[in-house]
Amino acid sequence: MKNKIIDIWPINFFSHTKEIPDQSWKFILQMACILQMVPGWKNSTKLRVFASSKYESPQHIQQIWERRLKQLRIECEVVLAEWKDEILGSYEVDMINSEMSIKQQYFANVNSFVKTYSQNSALLLLYLPAPSLNRNENSHYLQHLTQMTDQFPPTAMIYGVSDVTSVSL
């Protein structure tokens, strides 16, 4: 049976930071691990987690993710996704102060970036950023999510509110 691929993107494309800002990455990995245990997927699923090496050396990022996965006892391939500024433009956009056209281009670039790596995946698990506290921004938030995920394979966007795993035994 052909391996199904579950791609995990714990990157918050709405707000880039050097380090993952919350515990959502654990929750996303846990959901992927549970899906991998389902009888129809158990022996035919491969997990891949995508990390960006934009701000640190690729070797350092690789080590961080391998340590995290070992701690959680999750068998998963780490893929370093390279954002190429010359092709995709800026890796960050100011979601508050940028013009709408800049934000739209940015999310079109994010869409293209993820598709480059995950077009043939059986399932994508993406980081779901929290919506703005300003309710007037909700329609833009939904518009950006839609544009970012347009024509993706089946996709679940996940946001973890609190730590859901324990690594102490």
Over residues 127-139, the pLDDT tens digits come to 998 888 888 888 9
* 3-state SS, residue 35: helix
* Ramachandran assignment for 158, one of left (phi > 0), alpha (psi -120 to 50 degrees), beta (any other): beta
Instruction: Give me 135's structure tokens.
Output: 């309710």
Please tell me the distance from the alpha carbon of residue 56 to that of residue 145, in angstroms, as a whole number: 27
8 pLDDT band (50/70/90 cuts)?
A: very high
Cα angle 147, 93, 158 (rounded to 5 degrees) comes to 50
The arrangement of secondary structure in 4-158, i.e. its CATH architecture, is 3-Layer(aba) Sandwich (3.40)
Please tell me the distance from the alpha carbon of residue 124 to that of residue 55, in angstroms, as a whole number: 24
Measured CA distances, 90 to 87, 137, 153 (Å): 9, 22, 25
Which whole number is the average pLDDT over 143-152? 96
Residue 58 has pLDDT above 50, yes or no: yes
First CA to last CA across the chain, in angstroms? 35
Chain mean pLDDT for the chain: 85
Q: What is this structure's pTM?
A: 0.87
What are the residue boundaries of the structural domains of the chain, listed by start? 4-158
pLDDT, residue 122, reads 93
